[in-house]
Structure 1
Amino acid sequence: MGRIVGIDYGRKRIGLAVTDPLKIIATPLTTLNPAEFESFMKKYMDSETVDCFVIGYPRELDNSPSESVKDLTPFLTRLKRVFPEIPVHKVDERFTSVIAQKAIIEGGVKKEARKEKGLVDKVSATLILQSYLENSSVKNRLR
């Protein structure tokens, strides 16, 4: 049984999260520089099966694609070209960074630890992935 990888893409950093093998819970994995993503995923997939990627898709309040989609599109194209056998699902990522920052503070993370630049990115990836899991679970129960 494979895992699902959640991706919070940014020009400077990519936050990653993964599911447990039963695809119930999302947990933060790491934060990397975009240039490291491909080699990291290939190495990760040497030991883990990945069933699909779930990537945060930036939208405006009116549901139209946000300006930052222009940065995401080349990454999505490359992701599909490098890993053609793995489906990619887009999930609305509105407010995930704000929610992640709030969760980090409310979770009691010390101020010094909150300075880690990649923390918000991997927590955002976790929120994106958990949202996908919850929505998929509801859809499956309604069938």
Structure 2
Amino acid sequence: MARILAIDFGTKRTGIAVTDELQIIASGLTTVETKDLFAFLKEYVSNESVELFVIGEPKRLNNEASESEVAIKPFIDKLTKTFPDIPFTRVDERFTSKMAFQTMIDSGLTKKQRKNKALVDEISATIILQSYLYSR
């Protein structure tokens, strides 16, 4: 089986999470500068078999798309052109940053460690991926 790769897209940084090859466990992989995202994805996909991209879908409480969606649409267009053989799906990412921060507190990270926004993005991607795994 191939891995599933989740993306918590941001204009500055993007969190990445992946499953194991059996698609049972979601694990944070890394956070990359968004400007380097496609270079990272090309390298990763050349070394690992990826069956699906799961992309966070930011929504407002009233279920409308958030303003972040404006930046995500061009990213998805480029992703589908760059990796035409790998499909993608979207997962509601409301509250993932808050859940990630709470996870950091529950894990006993210090206040200084919790200010690491890259770690928040990586944990958020993991939560997005875990949500997808639960839903299927």
TM range (shorter): over 0.9
Aligned residue for 1:70? Answer: 70
Structure 2 stretches lacking a partner, 5+ long: none
Distance 2:95 2:35 in 1: 25
SS of match in other structure, 1:118: helix
Aligned residue for 1:91? Answer: 91
Further displaced range: 38-47 or 106-115: 106-115
1:14-33 paired onto structure 2 within 5 Å:
14-33=14-33
Question: Could you list the per-position Cα deviations for residues 22-44 of structure 1 after superposition, in whole angstroms to 9, with x for gaps in the alignment?
Answer: 10110000001111111111111
- The TM-score normalised by the length of structure 1 is 0.91
1:121 corresponds to 2:125: no
1:134 corresponds to 2:134: yes
Distance 2:116 2:59 in 1: 26
Shift of 1:67: 1.4
Distance 2:112 2:67 in 1: 32
Aligned residue for 1:109? Answer: 109
Aligned residue for 2:59? Answer: 59
Aligned residue for 2:79? Answer: 79
SS of match in other structure, 2:102: helix
Shift of 1:12: 0.5
SS of match in other structure, 1:79: helix
Shift of 1:112: 2.8
Shift of 1:101: 0.4
Structure 1 stretches lacking a partner, 5+ long: 137-143
Question: Could you list the per-position Cα deviations for residues 76-107 of structure 1 after superposition, in whole angstroms to 9, with x for gaps in the alignment?
Answer: 11111111110010000001001100111111
Amino acid at match of 1:2: A
Further displaced range: 62-71 or 16-25: 62-71
Aligned residue for 1:40? Answer: 40
Q: What is the aligned-residue identity percentage? A: 50
SS of match in other structure, 2:117: coil
Shift of 1:65: 0.9
Aligned length: 136
- The TM-score normalised by the length of structure 2 is 0.96
SS of match in other structure, 1:72: helix
